[in-house]
Amino acid sequence: MSQRQVLQVFEQYQKARTQFVQMVAELATRPQNIETLQNAGVMSLLRTLLLDVVPTIQQTAALALGRLANYNDDLAEAVVKCDILPQLVYSLAEQNRFYKKAAAFVLRAVGKHSPQLAQAIVDCGALDTLVICLEDFDPGVKEAAAWALRYIARHNAELSQAVVDAGAVPLLVLCIQEPEIALKRIAASALSDIAKHSPELAQTVVDAGAVAHLAQMILNPDAKLKHQILSALSQVSKHSVDLAEMVVEAEIFPVVLTCLKDKDEYVKKNASTLIREIAKHTPELSQLVVNAGGVAAVIDCIGSCKGNTRLPGIMMLGYVAAHSENLAMAVIISKGVPQLSVCLSEEPEDHIKAAAAWALGQIGRHTPEHARAVAVTNALPVLLSLYMSTESSEDLQVKFAAYLCLKPQKYLLPNLENGNSKSIYPWGCNEIN
Amino acid sequence: MATLARLQARSSTVGNQYYFRNRHLNRIVTVIQKWWRSFLGRKQYQLTVQVAYYTMMMNLYNAMAVRIQRRWRGYRVRKYLFNYYYLKEYLKVVSETNDAIRKALEEFAEMKEREEKKANHEREEKKRDYQARKMHYLLSTKQIPGIYNSPFRKEPDPRELQLQKAKPLTHRRPKVKQKDSTSLTDWLACTSTRSFPRSEILPPINRKQCQGPFRDITEVLEQRYKPLEPTLRVAEPIDELKLAREELRREEWLRNVNDNMFLPFSSYHKNEKYIPSMHLSSKYAPISYKEQFRSENPKKWICDKDFQTVLPSFELFSKYGKLYSKAGQIV
């Protein structure tokens, strides 16, 4: 019968399309195939398949496009140039959840490369549909939408403002309260990327009531989630005193100190970053940190880490000691100075050494007692040798010179006399003079 | 010059002559001048004394004030600006807090370690148990010792004991899905011709045919597996409407994202409750249909149940078209 033959032709075509799009999606997972695919002109073909009648083909085509755009920014630009985005945005509103996940994946892959591409996504009106996806029932869709919003908001303040204006922040706060861990992670990282650009954006995040939920979730055992939450809190608190006070009011101390003992390096780093951002604003906040025993925990954390993970902890000690001499004395009695001089001598990287030198300077500059406490640990010869060595960078030498000049002569000279190495004494005097 | 000198000489002489001529007057004038000068001098002396006195008193006051200020400054600095003992206490408290925190963190880390070790241990145990169950055939028999039960050993390997204790794994049976509710349609499905019970073993091919006239097999099956013809009363339940309402309500509840009452986003942190509108919160509700027409007196009721509004159907209607008589059919 001719009707059946006609239908068979259509079936064959549909099978061929399905096979093609599935193979392309599979090939796009391997980086070596992508060049070939690009040269074969896969973009325009996938674009037509996006408008296919069969939903499975649409979803697989979107998935393949997402994988291609994920690979590098040329392909992402090609996606934008072929006018695929308006079609994606339009059908995002009405299709089922698999298509929504795939389309959000494409938007994320395009938006992550550069601010211009993210601006292109915002211009075609994707933000409203992504925010609608955030209200969806399925957690996978919410996760994909939140991820796309995160990558858009990451680049600069205007894009973050656009994301906030689309009304994403309250929905992200709702997403944080969902039971799925992956969704919580993505929502926390999105809030962190929104809040990091400016104080107004951070204030918007706080107004949506995010801080209370984030503070509750610090106790969650998942390491990646803790890492994102601590990063979000530190981005919020770094802008101003009021925001830092609001974060402190959410009763993060002393729970945050347990994060300093976590096995994961990033969790430790972000926890010490958070404490640093809180302590740097005013003496009262530093006092609060000291009273909660934060200094001891940070010093232990510095002792157990290596490399860049130590840096926020070292800077935190410097900030605390800089505020007043009582706090500097508190740092000294918490056995901070030996730890800092150990960091100074054993770290290979210049910027960590410079930070340790700065912190020691802030501790030692207040009174002769403080200077003596610093000198006792034999930090001064190390400092001078580093200053003199030719291989240390300009920045390092400038910092050391500043440190040595910070201390008045009457503090330093007696200590140099009492110090162990008599040989540096004449040289040191010359430098100071 | 010479005239000037002469003038000067003459003036002195003139003055001297003048003086010697008016000695009496000069003496009186000197007395007056003397008294006047002494008066002026006394006045001046008074002023000087006053000034000196004043200076002396001010110096005294200043010295006393300095004494007071010295004491006050020392007190103020010692008490408010740099209270040494308070600072010492504070530093002691800080170091104690630090020690407490350090100890607490150590305990926390140890607890985490222990938990992780325990979890690992349990996982290993489970894995070993599963392996023992899978490899139960490695158990030793009476004739042949197993690999864990070497005859050269004094006692068998602990793995042998584990194998003995393990229950062997059975083949995975296909899971039969349980039907939650038995409704009428399920019963109907069982009576279709497809559910004709087939025997597991096929009959032998060369069996002698049974003798005798047999009815047509399709007729027999039709009669045997006549589909259920439920009466009207059974086919549709009485409270179908209520069930349908429940179904609808359940479906709507499925679409809810959150069961909690709606809370405003921006003031979430203030813990405000949702304030319903006037219509919902008023105690004056719209009158129900029943109350419009009847006045009820619960004391006069003889039982708790209300009148039945839905009644079971007549049997007469279920027999329609199934009886042999042609009574009632339209010609």
Q: For A284-306, how does the pLDDT look when each residue is reduced to its tens digit (9 = 90+)? A: 999 999 999 999 999 999 999 88
Burial A14-42 (b: 16+ CB within 10 A, else e): eeebbebbbebbebbeeeebbeebbeeeb
* Cβ–Cβ below 8 Å for B112 and A263: yes
Percent with pLDDT over 70 in chain B: 71
Percent with pLDDT over 90 in chain A: 54
How big is the A-B interface in CB pairs under 8 Å? 65
Q: Which residue of A has its CA nearest to B270?
A: A209
Residue from the list B87, B105, B265 with its beta carbon closest to the beta carbon of A261: B105
How many alpha carbons lie under 13 Å from residue A211 in its C-beta half-sphere? 26
Report pLDDT digits (tens) over A74-131: 888 988 888 888 888 888 877 788 889 999 999 999 999 999 999 999 999 999 999 9
Decide: helix, strand or coil at residue A73. Answer: helix
Report pLDDT digits (tens) over B98-145: 999 999 999 999 999 999 999 999 999 999 999 888 888 888 888 888
Closest-CA residue to B312 (of B252, B234, B204, B246): B234
How many alpha carbons lie under 13 Å from residue A379 in its C-beta half-sphere? 30
Residues of A in contact with B108 (CB under 8 A): 258, 261
The pLDDT assigned to A236 comes to: 94
Closest-CA residue to A406 (of A376, A378, A383, A377): A383
* Cβ–Cβ below 8 Å for B266 and A207: yes
Report pLDDT digits (tens) over A118-170: 999 999 999 999 998 898 888 999 999 999 999 999 999 999 999 999 999 99
Taking the CA of residue A196 and the nearest CA in chain B, the distance in Å comes to: 20
Alpha-carbon distance of A248 to A254, in angstroms, equals 10
Structure-token pair, residue A23: 């193979």
Establish if B86 touches chain A: CB-CB under 8 angstroms.
Answer: no
Better-predicted residue by pLDDT, A199 or A350: A199
ipTM of the complex: 0.79
Taking the CA of residue A194 and the nearest CA in chain B, the distance in Å comes to: 17
Q: Which residue of A has its CA nearest to B99?
A: A296
pLDDT at A355 over 70: yes
Establish if B109 touches chain A: CB-CB under 8 angstroms.
Answer: yes
pLDDT at B153 over 90: no
The pLDDT assigned to B217 comes to: 81
Q: Which of B92, B97, B117, B256 is most worth mutating to test chain A (most A CB atoms within 10 A of its CB)?
A: B97
Across A170-184, A235-249, A360-374, A415-429, least confident range:
A415-429
User: At which residue do the structure tokens 């008193």 appear?
Assistant: B57
Q: What is the DSSP code string of B192-244? A: SGGGPPPPSSPPPTTPPPPPS----HHHHHHHHTPPP---HHHHS-TTHHHHH
Across A182-186, A278-282, B151-155, B262-266, least confident range:
B262-266
Report pLDDT digits (tens) over B163-188: 888 888 777 776 666 655 555 555 54
Residue A88 Cα distances to A2, A106, A130, B155, angstroms:
37, 9, 11, 71
Taking the CA of residue B206 and the nearest CA in chain A, the distance in Å comes to: 43
pLDDT at A422 over 70: no
The pLDDT assigned to B14 comes to: 62
